[in-house]
Amino acid sequence: MVGEFHPPARILMGPGPSNVDPRVYLAMAKPLLGHLDPDFIRIMHQVQDLLRYAFATRNSLTIPISGTGTAGMEAAFVNVVEPGDKVLICVNGFFGERMVEIAGRCGAEVKKLSGTWGKPFDPAEVEKELRAFRPKVLALVHAETSTGVLQPLEEFPSIMKKFPEALLLVDTVTSLGGHPVKVDEWGIDVCYSGTQKCLSCPPGLAPITFSPKAVERIKNRTKKVQSFYLDMDTLGKYWGNEMTYHHTAPISMNYALLEALRIVQEEGLDRRFERHRRNHLALAAGVEAMGLKMFVDPPHRLWSLNTIAIPDGTDDAKVRKSLLEEYNLEIGGGLGPLKGKIWRVGLMGYTSDERNVLFFLTVLELTLREQGFEVPRGVGASTAREFYAKNK
């Protein structure tokens, strides 16, 4: 017999999921409705309105995909890519690699522009490749969860204008709700995210939005989308005014997302971004004051995910295990080539909080000292505290 389960109350400072507001837990406990209930349809429309706010878009086709962030990535590619289409993918981390994998399974002719893990792409370099390859889709990761790098997108609208045949497809899994994501202003055609990062909702849904140009591309497809589950034509009808049955939306997860988005709306995006920025800067200041090195150069650091170079002579797994077991605090290790090289420390959504920054710096110091690595006593937390005092 499988008995009761009582998950420990962790501080989730890994690369996601992040902690959720108690209001979001309560939202999931609200009475279940049928997926065609008028009261649930009202909730669907509210979720869509608030997602448009979060994405800074007026795109009509804006919905939460009934799957996790990876389903969002797959939905992005399968809908706008047809077999034989040229797709240019900028890869400077694990999730760029995943895009290559998924686009390949759509039968695309994929060109991979390889960058450096830990650095963003120079838009001029991308433009050169666009000119040479003339793809139908250019794909980029805005916030690389594997490295902690932010890809600036401000210059892309003027670049993309020169390549009207290309759609701009952007992964904002780790930025939406934590960093500015300006879908319309930046001319993004397909943009997806996950719920469990800066939106601070449990994992299970993938917000996605398609520009009118992307919708046109979908309408003009010659071949059916290979995935029925992720087919935006029918999904759009289910979430749109037709309300044609497609699948049973995850009702309770949509309650959770609605409540998480209501919290975003109440805080306001600008204040929310500033909170993420401030807590990130405090954490980075503390980390560096302890004598550790951040993995990414300051202008390109994500506010939502801090990557710390693991100091020589420390045991990656042992440190993370100790943080988890002694302090109920989760951080992430590196992926792929960065395994054992970096720690990934999330400050996303509800987790992005001064209390967590100070606690993390304190227990990281204690853990490193206990494992024989010399760290100046109390300097991390007090440096962060000074930063907060100076930056009210």
DSSP state of 290: T
Q: Got the DSSP string for 336-365? A: GGGTTTEEEEE--GGG--HHHHHHHHHHHH
Does position 204 interact with a second copy (CB under 8 A)? The reply is yes
Q: What part of residues 106-125 is at the interface with a second copy (CB under 8 A)?
A: 106
CB of 305 to a second copy, least distance (A): 14
Choice between 45 and 131, CB closer to a second copy: 45
DSSP state of 74: H
Count other Cβ atoms within 10 Å, centred on residue 380.
27
Q: Please report how many Cα atoms fall inside a 13 Å half-sphere around the Cα of residue 239, on the Cβ side.
A: 27
Q: Which stretch binds a second copy (CB under 8 A): 150-158, 183-191, 220-228, 304-312?
A: 220-228
Q: Which stretch binds a second copy (CB under 8 A): 54-62, 195-203, 279-287, 374-382?
A: 195-203
3-class SS of residue 293: strand
Q: What part of residues 335-374 is at the interface with a second copy (CB under 8 A)?
A: 335
**Which amino acid is it at 319?**
V
Q: What part of residues 3-22 is at the interface with a second copy (CB under 8 A)?
A: 3-10, 12, 14, 16-17, 19-20
Q: Out of 218, 243, 269, 324, point to the residue binding a second copy (CB under 8 A).
A: 324
β-pair partners for 111: 88
Whole-number Å distance between alpha carbons of 229 and 40 = 20
Q: Out of 56, 91, 258, 290, point to the residue binding a second copy (CB under 8 A).
A: 258
128 sits in which H/E element: helix 123-133
**Buried b / exposed e along 172-211 (16+ C-beta atoms within 10 A):** bbbbbbbbbbebeebbbbbbbbbbbbbbbbbbbbbbbbbb
Q: Which stretch binds a second copy (CB under 8 A): 98-106, 123-131, 292-300, 384-392?
A: 98-106
Does position 262 interact with a second copy (CB under 8 A)? The reply is yes
Choice between 305 and 381, CB closer to a second copy: 305
Q: Out of 44, 50, 283, 381, point to the residue binding a second copy (CB under 8 A).
A: 50
Does position 225 interact with a second copy (CB under 8 A)? The reply is yes
Choice between 181 and 253, CB closer to a second copy: 253
3-class SS of residue 311: coil
H-assigned helices in 38-122: 38-55, 69-80, 94-105
CB of 46 to a second copy, least distance (A): 5
Q: Which stretch binds a second copy (CB under 8 A): 125-133, 196-204, 287-295, 364-372?
A: 196-204
Choice between 87 and 153, CB closer to a second copy: 87
Choice between 257 and 289, CB closer to a second copy: 257
In order of 9, 320, 342, the CA distances from 317 in angstroms are 21, 5, 11
DSSP state of 203: S
Interface with a second copy: number of residues (CB under 8 A): 79
Choice between 39 and 312, CB closer to a second copy: 39
Choice between 24 and 214, CB closer to a second copy: 24
